[in-house]
Amino acid sequence: MYKIIAKRYLTSEIALMEVEAPRMSRSAQPGQFLIVRVHEKGERIPLTICDYNRERGTVTIVTQVVGASSRQICHMEEGESFADFVGPLGRASEFTLMEQDELKDKRFLFVAGGLGTAPVYPQVKYLHGRGAKVDVLIGAKTKGMLILLEEMKAVCDNLFICTDDGSEGTKGLIPDVMKGIFNQIIARELNGGKMYDHVVAIGPMIMMKYTTLAAKPYNVPLIVSLNTLMVDGTGMCGACRVSIGGKTKFACVDGPEFDAYLVDFDEAMRRQGMYKKIESEADHKCRIGLDKH
């Protein structure tokens, strides 16, 4: 059993939990994910690793209520335990293969949409600890949906914030604000005119699609994480099949990170919507069950 030793709400619908998992904490790397089950008959839920502490033997997850199983996870409290907490799974981010001397000469931009801030955080923290220059753009619909801002400020060089309604930071959508950052660099108003060596975008599928379209004219290398496609998390169910450069890949075993310019986002979004009706019905039953307790 894997005990929750700390829990706090980042928003009314997003919970952060630190979980005892010594073996996983020793081997976890940025970009990887894990699978949890609330109880023995529960659904297998893939979640990206938000943080890990090798000394404490803990792994941190962030969960947003979007359906029945995520609602059950968020209702768990400190002292309770998960039946299963399996990982790390998937491939670690490519930059984990770089030597520290190489990373010191690199400049990264991470683009995080909504809950995508959670998997972005361990990557930024990893790079910051190895001397890389890292900027972060976090976007959300409104101020109340922004998460991990203070944690991110502590590990990045420049933090850019935008909201759809202008309630925090720049008013606008992530792709447009990102283009503004690129244009500032080209005009030598930011980063001494040095363009980013690598850009990583993580968030809703539609956001990653338009971020990719916006980035392409600037000729910057761009990676996206397709973690939201995963269901089973082991490649057995086939639900996370996606076309990458015309070849079939599985987000859970071949990714979750891929070259953005090779991803068929329209196919990925169609696949992502396959279970919406079933999930909505299950969530309705779950809410009734939780209310009874």
Q: What is the pLDDT of residue 227?
A: 87
pLDDT, position 287: 53
**Residue 274 pLDDT grade (very low, low, confident, very high; cuts 50, 70, 90):** low
Q: In this model, does residue 24 exceed pLDDT 50?
A: yes
> Does residue 277 surpass a pLDDT of 70?
no
240 confidence band (pLDDT: 50, 70, 90): confident
- Looking from the CA of 199 toward its CB, the CA atoms found within 13 Å total 24
Query: Dihedral of the CA atoms 95, 99, 104, 109 (nearest 10)?
Result: 0
- The highest-level CATH class for domain 2-89 is mainly beta
Tell me: cis bond preceding 256? Omega within 30 of 0 counts.
Answer: yes
Q: Encode pLDDT of 157-209 as tens digits.
A: 999 999 999 999 999 999 999 999 999 999 999 999 999 999 999 999 999 99
Residue 292 has pLDDT above 80, yes or no: no
pLDDT tens, residue by residue, 98-143: 999 999 999 999 999 999 999 999 999 999 999 999 999 999 999 9
Residue 26 has pLDDT above 90, yes or no: yes
pTM exceeds 0.85 for this model: yes
Q: What is the pLDDT of residue 281?
A: 46
Burial class (CB in 10 A: 0-12, 13-18, 19+), 188: exposed
- Give the whole-number percent of the chain exceeding pLDDT 90: 80
What does the pLDDT read at residue 88?
Answer: 95
Please check the confidence at residue 280 and state whether its pLDDT lies above 80. Answer: no
pLDDT of residue 290: 57
Q: Show me where the domains of the chain are located.
A: 2-89, 94-225
Q: Which residue has the tokens 């023995």?
A: 40
Q: So what CATH class is 94-225? A: alpha beta
Model pLDDT, residue 289: 55
Q: What is the per-residue pLDDT for 291?
A: 59
The per-residue pLDDT for range 53-104, each reduced to its tens digit, is: 999 999 999 999 988 889 999 999 999 999 999 999 999 999 999 999 999 9
